[in-house]
Amino acid sequence: MFKYPMRVRDYECDVQRVVNNSVYQNYFEHARHEFLLSKGVDFSALAEMDVNLMVIRVEIDYKRPLRPKDDFYVTVEVEKVSRIQYAFIQRIHLQEDDQIMVSARTMGVAVNAKGRPTASPHMDQLLID
């Protein structure tokens, strides 16, 4: 399982002094991009080749809030859902006790130059340990 460490920055929090709900998507996306790089898949290089990895659905469950200066890590696992769809299963854990704070399931596809979903060997590469 891929793990990526991060820290909450003050400006990511709202007036209640908790991470704003929209910021979690940034955490998840950043961890997904780092996961891709760890598997030899360069998101930007693919875009230059007219292979675009697109998010088509996100489900997030907020369990406990992160607060300023919390150290946490994001986990990433991927599963193939169909010939062209992949699910990124992600969790945010508080570093100090591994408590799950937020979990998400992000559905993605590869899209070709014409904007049509397509099977991609780059995505299949994510399934290899």
Q: Average pLDDT, whole number, for the chain?
A: 93
Which structural domains are found in the chain, ordered by start?
2-127 (3.10.129.10)
Confidence band, pLDDT 50/70/90 cuts, at residue 63: very high
Confidence band, pLDDT 50/70/90 cuts, at residue 56: very high
* Distance in angstroms (rounded) separating the CA atoms of residues 17 and 20: 9
What percent of the chain has pLDDT above 70? 99
Instruction: For 48-84, give one letter per residue: b (16+ CB within 10 A) or e.
Output: eeebbbeeeebeeeeeebbeeebebbbbbebeeeeeb
Q: What is the mean pLDDT of residues 37-46?
A: 88
Q: Is the pLDDT of residue 29 over 80?
A: yes
Q: Is the pLDDT of residue 107 over 90?
A: yes
Q: What is the mean pLDDT of residues 10-38?
A: 96
**Single pTM value for the model:** 0.92
* Distance in angstroms (rounded) separating the CA atoms of residues 122 and 112: 12
Q: What is the residue type of 67?
A: R
